[in-house]
Structure 1
Amino acid sequence: MISPSLLSADFTNLEKEFKILNEEKVDFIHLDIMDGNYVPNISYGPGIVKSLRHLTEIPFDTHLMIERPENFIEEFVKAGSDIITIHPMTTKHLDRTLSLIKSYGKKTGLALNPGDSLDVLNYNLEKLDLVLIMSVNPGFGGQKFIPSVLRKIREVKKLIEERNLDTLIEVDGGVKLDNAKEVLDAGADILVAGSAIFKKDKTRENIKAFKEL
């Protein structure tokens, strides 16, 4: 499955970009929400997400790279998010925040940075619909894929299989056509790609190429 990262799209012509995403039937649309605190960058908030919702019926895969995400869950739910993913270190009460997302009937995700331990999954994996494995350090697009993350993908896949769960593995950061198969073979279910899709005015061709993999 593929989840194009909107952060790399042409924001001066989003209707055109969404038209292509709709016609090519991508699985999800990845929304990177950054607050300038947890990560050193700022993107956009629930108001923008809400304004985009009418452009598509494709599920919004919302990645919150923000401090205190529990304060904004309801806003992103109302804006139209279908999956809401948070980072464990951004909330004081992880279980409570994951349960809050679930209470709205939304899919729940947990993101792990390249240097994060898998220990946090021991007591939370059963609550998750998705584990987002960051293959770059979060905060900026266009970074290079960190190869050691492939081992982490395999380890998470093993945990999911051992517990007989349906939790999906999503991989985000530096995913390109030349390394996507390796990422999929390691156990990824969903590939997030930004600059590899929205580049050189070849969005449609790039989506097709990813789907062929």
Structure 2
Amino acid sequence: MAVRIHPSILSADFANLERDLGAIATADYAHVDVMDQHFVPNLTLGLPVVRRLAQVSPVPMDVHLMIEDADRWAPEYAAAGASSVTFHAEAAQAPVRLARELRERGVRAGIALRPASPVEPLLDLLAEFDMVLVMTVEPGFGGQSFIEGTLPKLRRLRQAVRESGTGTWIQVDGGVSRDTIGRIARAGADTFVAGSAVYGAADVAAEIAALRELAEAPIQA
């Protein structure tokens, strides 16, 4: 099972985003959080910025939409240059239809769950999604502490992916660091979003490598 590290530019310097994207060239994707101050109590960036970042990023863009009316806006982010677009189950009226539309546009389709949202409604629909994102903090702000109670959800999801044979990626976003990534990987995640852990490090590339190694260890054991 491959391990993927997706540094979150929410923790980057917004005045130097192109520079800070260059710093994560050894990562698998750049994780871009889009927030609308309605679905979550924070406002970040939108379509024009994502479109421009996609033109200069050395790695593919993994866009995480924490916005209302995902059915309307998710395809626009696919058109803006994202390689993967993740929308929240709680914000989509027709998640399967939306995922199919994203795939038709040539991007990976992901669906996200807040920490308290159950994973069970998705288990029979895994073939419709390229990735399931389990939020391990409440969405809206970076730098929060990991919620341990989300680990059983990851275990149930990993078992379902294994049984289904879909190859759906399991992504975790929130509180990922050297201290937590090993047990998150043991619970079943294979794709890890890390913001402050990466951008707060003295050597960004070395931190990405360290997180990758720590995540691979329990998977290979």
Q: What is the TM-score normalised by the length of structure 2?
A: 0.91
8 Å Cα contact 2:90-2:113 kept in structure 1 = no
**Is the Cα–Cα contact under 8 Å of residues 126 and 165 in structure 1 kept in the other structure?**
yes
Q: Which amino acid aligns with 2:205?
A: R
Q: Which residue is 2:157 aligned to?
A: 156
SS at 2:39 equivalent: coil
Q: Contact 1:70–1:100 at 8 Å: present in 2 too?
A: no
- Distance (whole Å) between structure 2 residues aligned to residue 88 and residue 94 of structure 1: 7
Counterparts of 1:65-76 in structure 2 under 5 Å? 65-76=66-77
* 1:96-116 C-alpha deviation (Å, 9 max, x unpaired): 222221221211111111111
1-structure distance, mates of 2:165, 2:60: 25
Which residue matches 1:18? 21
**Larger mean Cα displacement after TM superposition, 42-51 or 119-128:** 119-128
8 A Cα contact 2:78 2:84, kept in partner: no
1:98 corresponding residue in structure 2:
99
Q: State the match for 1:29 in structure 2.
A: 30
After superposition, what is the alpha-carbon deviation per residue over 1:154-207, rounded to whole angstroms, capped at 9, x for unaligned?
110001111111101000000111111111111111110000111154323322
Of 104-113 and 68-77, more deviation after overlay is shown by: 68-77
| 1:81 aligns to 2:82 (yes or no) | yes
Q: Quote the residue 1:141 is aligned against.
A: 142
AA aligned opposite 1:209:
A
Determine if contact 1:3/1:27 at 8 Å carries over to the other structure.
yes
Q: C-alpha root-mean-square deviation of aligned residues, in Å?
A: 1.4
**C-alpha displacement at 1:211, in angstroms?**
2.4
- Quick check: 2:33–2:63 contact (8 Å CA) kept in 1? yes
Preserved CA contact (<8 Å) 2:74 2:87: no
Partner SS for 1:111: strand
What's the counterpart of residue 177 of structure 1?
Answer: 178
Residue segments in structure 1 that go unaligned for 5+ positions in a row: none
CA distance in 2, matches of 1:86, 1:57: 23
Are the counterparts in 1 of residues 112 and 133 from structure 2 also a CA contact under 8 Å?
A: yes
**Paired residue type of 2:94:** H
Residues of 1 paired with 2:200 and 2:90: CA distance? Answer: 33
**Separation in structure 1 between the aligned mates of residue 58 and residue 18 of structure 2, nearest angstrom:** 13
**TM-score normalised per structure 1:** 0.94
Distance in structure 2 (CA, Å) of the matches to 1:200 and 1:128: 33
Where do 4+ consecutive residues of structure 1 move more than 3 Å? none
CA contact 2:70–2:91 (8 Å) conserved in 1: yes
Aligned residues: 211
